[in-house]
Amino acid sequence: MSETGPLSSPRPLFGLFSSLRVGALGLAVTSCLVNVLALTGSFFMLQVYDRVIPSRSLPTLVGLIVIVVALFAFQWLLDLTRSLLLGQIGRAVDERFSGRAFLSVALSASRKPAHGDGLQTIRDVDTVRGFLSGPGPGALFDLPWMPFYLALCFLFHHWIGVTAAAGAMILTGLALLAEVKSRQPTRETVAILAERMAFAETARRNSETVVAMGFAAALSTRWAGVNRRHLDSHLRTATVVNSLSTLSRSARMLLQPGVLAVGAILVIRQEATGGIMIASSILVSRALAPIELAIAHWRGFAAARQAWSRLDREVRLSDERPRVALPAPRQSLLVENLHLGAPGSKMPIIRGMSFEVKAGEAVGIIGPSASGKSSLARGLVGLWSAFGGDIRLDGASLSQWTPAALGRHIGYLPQEVSLFEGTIADNIARFDPQTSSELVIAAARAAGVYDMIVGFSDGFDTLIGAQATALSAGQRQRIGLARALYGDPFLVVLDEPNSNLDVQGELALAQAIESVRSRQGVVLIIAHRPSALSVVDKVLVLEDGRAKAFGPKGDVLKTGPKPVAATGSFVRLLRAGEGTSP
């Protein structure tokens, strides 16, 4: 049996896109017909000048007009079909990668911090979809037909072909120049845009603090600076692309009368007809139009290409091999010579830490500020990967589980509890679509929050926003505790779980810890308030990222041991509260 999880059994990005080859083939066939039908105008003018006018035959003209109208109508239908195909391909790409992009954002806590607001992967999917759904790809599909048009120009006359080829070389050079000149400015614009949006999101999230302390004007000044940098970068990119676009358009417009002039010379020298002169002018304009259109959309193409490259790296980074589904842990948590630090950092915060916790035990983790308590908590729940050493559940390292599989065995209550938009039941159940009312109620009762929830007008169906502003900090913390206990996880890590609780909440917390111990789970509690440690049987003392003491609570808190000296004031407070109920 294997358990793949939401990120398992992936295929590389281009491998996934290869499944869209039917749509790509349809685009190629449609573009072929569109480009063949694009000859309609040229050959109509050729027939008018070389056949209708010399013969003065109105029936011939009427017949040609009927044929041309029919062909142009068919060309319009094919153009519409191509645009619809591009829209469907853009949607298919979005559907394939948007879920993976969201998972990348949701799992970002375990990776190197990204610049900006961390939502760049989702924006990359939007960028690729927007480009594929627009007119830019159509121009790229038309580019391979340029040699075909140039060959027809040479069939009209070799000097017409030479003139058209010279124009094609000029416009191709401008396209390459657009690629070189726009690459770096586009990359800078994307980075500054992410920084700009991150600043705006931070201001929105902390709007109450901003209003209360009256520094909105100062933030506005800071925003103006960030926004000015974004506008400057955006303007530099637009200037490069627009300058080359207008230059290419002017070159193509100049080329058309140039071809007319060459054709006129050939007509005067009786080497070509008037129809060839007019038709070749139209044909050259059509032949070089895709290059001009490609240059005009080069900024979107460059942004989509860079977004595609980032998506490719992100998908490869999130690749997960199918793994053997391990049994649920039931025996112990073992930390072996652990060295741990933040993702992307080379400086360890936790150094050489080792301890073991058996099923049914509760451990209190204490220490001064910046001693590594919260960092250790992040490592224990798999948020941060170890620099060295290992964290094991029943002898298996955390890396042997997929994130989804490991999450079922872990309950985590961080210092800052964030709830998601949805009902209280949704948040407690971790948005599990397979949940049941019994599991949600069991978690609420285990956290001692059932009576509080049913006291709301809508009970478990009470809707809360992303910021949960309708709930107090204590209520959010207690609902977060119920979420941590959902599904009876083996390992429960609580980071300052009583920081916002009243006496009743602390009593419920103590009962929740006892319930985990009674079902033979493992609880680790990080706390600065002694009441949270009233039900633990072991204490781990941290100092400067190292374990200074670990053992039974009574032994560690005895007066005098040197390892505890660094946390003297806290330990004295804890001893004073020892034996008292929360």
Q: How many helices (H) and strands (E) does the chain have?
A: 22, 14
Confidence of residue 356 (pLDDT cuts 50, 70, 90): very high
Across 133-142, 308-317, 350-359, the highest mean pLDDT is recorded for 350-359
Between 100-114, 133-147, 158-172, the lowest mean confidence (pLDDT) is in 100-114
Are 50 and 273 a contacting pair, CB within 8 Å? yes
326-409+489-582 CATH, one of 3.40.50.300, 3.40.50.150, 3.40.50.11540, 3.90.470.20: 3.40.50.300
Percent of the chain with pLDDT over 70: 84
Least confident of 52-56, 169-173, 197-201: 197-201
Residues 417-488: name the CATH superfamily.
Answer: P-loop containing nucleotide triphosphate hydrolases (3.40.50.300)
Does the pLDDT of residue 571 top 60, yes or no? Answer: no
Helix, strand, coil proportions of the chain in percent (round to 5)?
Answer: 65, 10, 25
| b (16+ CB within 10 A) / e for 310-326 | bbeebbeebeeeebeeb
Return d(Cα 192, Cα 513) in angstroms, integer: 46
Same fold, 326-409+489-582 and 417-488: yes
Per-residue pLDDT, 4:
39
- Domain map (residue ranges) of the chain: 2-317, 326-409+489-582, 417-488
Q: Which DSSP symbol is given to 382?
A: T
Q: What string of H, E and C letters represents the secondary structure of 400-416?
A: HCCHHHHHCCEEEECCC
pLDDT of 115 above 80 = no
Average pLDDT over residues 96-125: 65
pLDDT-based confidence at residue 530 (cuts at 50, 70, 90): low
Q: How many residues does the chain have?
A: 582
Residue predicted with more confidence, 546 or 175: 546
Q: Over the stretch 192-247, which tens digit does the pLDDT of each residue have? A: 877 787 777 777 767 766 776 677 777 788 888 888 888 888 888 778 777 777 77
For the entire predicted model, the pTM comes to 0.66
Alpha helices in 340-464 (DSSP H): 373-380, 403-407, 424-428, 437-446, 450-454
CA distance 128 to 125: 5
* Mean per-residue pLDDT, 347-360: 91
What are the pLDDT digits (tens) for 173-203?
A: 877 777 777 777 777 887 787 778 777 777 7
CA atoms in the 13 A half-sphere facing the CB of 151:
5
CATH topology of domain 2-317: ABC transporter transmembrane region fold (1.20.1560)
